[in-house]
Structure 1
């Protein structure tokens, strides 16, 4: 039924439910799993409403954010492979356009299904919010499974 499933995650408890369902579906259908998270390009303090960081602090914050994002999708990949998913990949996209990045990746990789949560944590590490999920739902031709 499915050949490639994209699961969007930010590491939150709610997105972990989406990850578990995506792994389950991958196992049931023999589909490849593509775990993705979006690392924002803006500095941490921009989102938190604090003072603007200097360039060095901004680069360090971006590095930490990217490393945390990579750890998140690497954990999904490892869990999927440990449970027997035939092929799993971890992708971090650096962008401020979360929903657009998910839609574009699903199209570029010919995914048959997008799995995501209806909302996730807020702040710099957020990936999934109601508005992002709605944007994905309304801008993709790929079927979307939304977990709440």
Structure 2
């Protein structure tokens, strides 16, 4: 049914449950798993009162975020390999999370995207939006959302 499943993770508890489902689904269908974590760039602030960091400090923070992302996807790989599921760990640097997820699914020819819904409601959802909602709206690849 599925040849390649992309699971998007941010390392959160809810995201870990989506990872568990993706691993189980890949195991059942014999699919390969692409474990993805998108790493944002450090936000630059130009507003009055904002604190600008030196370029070296920004690089250090971004490197820490990338290291954490690699640890997250490598942990997914370890969990999946315990069930004999082939995994490709992948980290991508982008400020546009949803677009990066969709692009990775397309680039790696995934048949399904699995991700968690973080359940924002009301005004927060309206103002902040939802990466999951953006993926659902713009992806041509089927999306499985877990709550």
TM class, shorter-length: 0.7 to 0.9
Q: 1:74 to 1:44 in 2, by over 3 A?
A: farther
SS in 1 for 2:130: helix
Query: What is the Cα deviation at residue 133 of structure 1?
Result: 0.3
RMSD: 2.1
SS in 2 for 1:6: strand
SS in 1 for 2:113: strand
Unaligned runs of 5+ in 2: 120-127
> Which residue of structure 2 lines up, in the alignment, with residue 29 of structure 1?
29
For normalisation by structure 1, the TM-score amounts to 0.86
SS in 1 for 2:82: helix
> Which residue of structure 2 lines up, in the alignment, with residue 3 of structure 1?
3
Q: Does 1:105 align with 2:101?
A: no
For normalisation by structure 2, the TM-score amounts to 0.87
Quick one: distance in 1 between partners of 2:52 and 2:2?
Answer: 45
Q: Does 1:142 align with 2:144?
A: no
Number of residue pairs the alignment of both structures matches: 137
Quick one: distance in 1 between partners of 2:19 and 2:139?
Answer: 20
Query: What is the Cα deviation at residue 52 of structure 1?
Result: 2.2
SS in 2 for 1:83: coil
Unaligned runs of 5+ in 1: 121-128
2:42–2:61: 8 Å Cα contact kept in structure 1? no
Larger radius of gyration: 2
SS in 2 for 1:106: helix
Quick one: distance in 2 between partners of 1:144 and 1:64?
Answer: 30
Query: What is the Cα deviation at residue 130 of structure 1?
Result: 5.9
